[in-house]
Structure 1
Amino acid sequence: MFEARTTRDRIGLHVLAVVLALPFLAPLVVMVSGSFAGRGWSNYEKVFATGVVGTYFRNSLIIAVSTIALVYVVTMLAAFGFAKLRIAGKEVWFWLLLAALTMPEAVLLTPLFVTASTFDLYNEHIAVILPLAALQVPFTVLLARSFFQGIPSELMEAGRVDGASILQVFWRIVMPLTRPIAAAIVVLTLISAWNAYLLPLLMLNDPDRQVVTLLPSFFTSQYTNDQTGVLAAAVITAVPQIIAYLSLQKYFERGLAAGALK
């Protein structure tokens, strides 16, 4: 593993890290500083004065938690099967699954809308949850499969020798070892589900079912363009993701590293 042994090397690495981080930090700094422009904290008060913040947060939480649970269950089972089980043609199925990564969300909006309308799911949270989970699963399976491949097969064989079924091996031996990759899956799925905009905009027409990413729209219309309100709403929307990442940061980084490298 690369290690900076001298003070000069460490300073160089820190400078490089700062330079690489600046393009990502600059928009956040502009967003936060802009949200206080003019009236300061009053910009946040007018966001809460809309009366929909609680409703939108509740709806986003329902969608995010449901999507995370669905993605987690499907990813763990699929990754375990692709990595450790002998399944005929599993590599073909795996690459077909990865092919789904090439499908942009915008291309799928029309068929998803038609499907939701046909099955009477329009204006229901499930019409957003299922597509979000389906779009996230290929990437999370790719990460988790690499992680599962790094778990020694001898542990599974020992469990089988002791009389455990394959489901017992999966639940009692393999799953306790997956906390790092589980944290990575939770954070990545939370970001994707919480930031979803196109699908909720298309599928959820009822104001009582809309989500926090639509909150800034209260401050833009044909005749108004309140940018301080938009930025304040954006900051409020981003807070749960920041809290989740900081809470799971250690496991998230370990999970990404373990999932990216076998």
Structure 2
Amino acid sequence: MLVTRSLGSKIVIQLVVTLMALPFLLPLVAMVQGSLGGRGLGNYVKVWETGVLPTYLLNSVLISVFAILIVYACTMLAAFGFSKLRIAGKEIWFWALLLALTMPEAVLLTPLFVTASTFDMYNQLVAVILPVAALQIPFTTLLARNFYDGIPSEIMDAARVDGANIWQVFWRVVLPLTRPIAAAIVVLTLIAAWNAYLLPMLMLNDPGRQVLTLLPSYFVSQYTNDQTGVLAAAVIAAVPMLVAYLALQKYFERGLAAGALK
């Protein structure tokens, strides 16, 4: 970690960081100000009075929770195998997995829609959960594998000498050491699942199945365009994510740094 001691260096770094943050902060400030236009806090009451907020919130929570569970389980197992196990052709499979990072979500919408319709998953939350999780696994596996590479193999060898099988080594020895990278995986998946927009808009046509990111569209139709309602709904959708990130920020940054370096 770099440490600056001179006052001039600290001022310069603070100015640079502030200038970098402004393009991200200004839209947020404008969104909050716009949400308070006209009726003020009454705009948030208006969003609540639609009656759909609890349903949308519950659906977003369910999608996020199940996506996190799937990504965590698949990532930890895959990264352990790629890093610590002797598997024939594992580097080929690893790079094939990383090729999925080059696929933009928009390109996959049509085949995902056809697949969901074929397997009768359209208008079901699972039609969003599985693609969101699948799109996160390549990157989280890359991070987790780098983290696993930093765990000494001697720890595993000692456990095997004591009579532990490979599953016990993974569950009782290796997995407890992965908490920093696990926090990064949870936050990254939470952000992706909570902010998903294209997939829910395509897959969830039933109003009872829609998610919080689609709440602003509730105030826009062919004959209405309530921008204060749109902005208030956007603020409500952003608040849980902001709280979750602030709560896990320390672990997220530590895990991301550990997973990015060998």
Give TM-score scaled by structure 1 length. 0.98
Please state if 1:92 is matched with 2:103: no
What secondary structure, in the 3-state scheme, does the structure 1 residue paired with 2:222 have? coil
Q: Give a deviation string over 1:4-57, Cα, whole Å, max 9, x none.
A: 121111111111111111111111111111111121101101101110000000
Letter of the structure 2 residue corresponding to residue 260 of structure 1: A
How far apart, in 2, do the equivalents of 1:131 and 1:219 lie?
28
Question: In the alignment, what sits opposite 1:211?
Answer: 211
CA RMSD of aligned residues (A): 0.9
Letter of the structure 2 residue corresponding to residue 35 of structure 1: S
How far apart, in 2, do the equivalents of 1:158 and 1:37 lie?
64
Please state if 1:187 is matched with 2:187: yes
Question: In the alignment, what sits opposite 1:250?
Answer: 250
Question: In the alignment, what sits opposite 2:65?
Answer: 65
How far apart, in 2, do the equivalents of 1:120 and 1:206 lie?
14
How far apart, in 2, do the equivalents of 1:203 and 1:138 lie?
23
Q: Give a deviation string over 1:70-100, Cα, whole Å, max 9, x none.
A: 0000000001111111111111101100000
- Equivalence map 1:101-116=2 (5 Å): 101-116=101-116
Identical amino acids, percent of aligned pairs? 73
How far apart, in 1, do the equivalents of 2:60 and 2:91 lie?
36
Question: In the alignment, what sits opposite 2:136?
Answer: 136
Letter of the structure 2 residue corresponding to residue 106 of structure 1: A
Question: In the alignment, what sits opposite 1:162?
Answer: 162
Letter of the structure 1 residue corresponding to residue 221 of structure 2: S
Q: Give a deviation string over 1:222-250, Cα, whole Å, max 9, x none.
A: 22211111110000001111111111111
Question: In the alignment, what sits opposite 2:19?
Answer: 19
CA shift, 1:2, in A, is 2.4
Which segments of structure 1 move beyond 4 Å, counting only runs of 4 or more? Answer: none
- Equivalence map 1:219-238=2 (5 Å): 219-238=219-238
Question: In the alignment, what sits opposite 1:199?
Answer: 199
How far apart, in 1, do the equivalents of 2:69 and 2:121 lie?
20
Question: In the alignment, what sits opposite 1:146?
Answer: 146
- Size of the aligned set, in residue pairs, is 262
Q: Give a deviation string over 1:104-152, Cα, whole Å, max 9, x none.
A: 1111111111111111111111111111111110011011111111111
Q: Flag structure 1 segments of 5+ consecutive residues without an equivalent.
A: none
How far apart, in 1, do the equivalents of 2:113 and 2:143 lie?
30
How far apart, in 2, do the equivalents of 1:175 and 1:33 lie?
45
